[in-house]
Amino acid sequence: MCATRALAWPCDQVDAWIELVADVPADAASLDENLNRLARRFVGTLTQPRVLQLRRLIIANAEAFPELGTAWYTQGFERVLKTLAATFARLADQRLLRVDDPLLAAHHFAGLLRWIPVNKAMSTGSPQHPEADLDNWAATGVRAFLAAYR
């Protein structure tokens, strides 16, 4: 649940994300496919115009309203990262991944996926990316993650 009304919409989105991230099946045969599906949804969500607008607004006002930025991070992104970390720990327990620090692995996964599209959108002011680019960034991010953690 969100602490502020301004964050109600993003938090509703986060609740849906939590369910998606927690439901990555522990199946060796489809691990790549499952992580790719998760990655593509992740990239698509992070580049939605409203998400980027809120992100810009919160970052621009972080010093003036630190409680808003803290709520945005802890109730949103941090919740997703912690759930992703638990998922990676579960996959490591089943020997599908090699993960010493699940939370760090979650940060790496998210960073690989968000670096290009979010930075490009934040720098250019345009959240619009061709679907083929989003697909490529998600797939190559998953490949890099699996190269490090499988």
Ramachandran class of 130: left when φ > 0, alpha when ψ lies in -120 to 50, beta otherwise: beta
**Average confidence score pLDDT of the chain:** 87
pLDDT in tens, 80-108: 899 999 999 999 999 999 999 999 999 99
pLDDT in tens, 105-124: 999 999 999 999 888 888 88
1 pLDDT higher than 50: no
21 pLDDT higher than 50: yes
CA–CA separation, 104 vs 26, rounded Å? 20
What's this model's pTM, rounded to 2 decimal places?
0.85
Angle made by CA atoms 47, 12, 133, in degrees to the nearest 5: 15
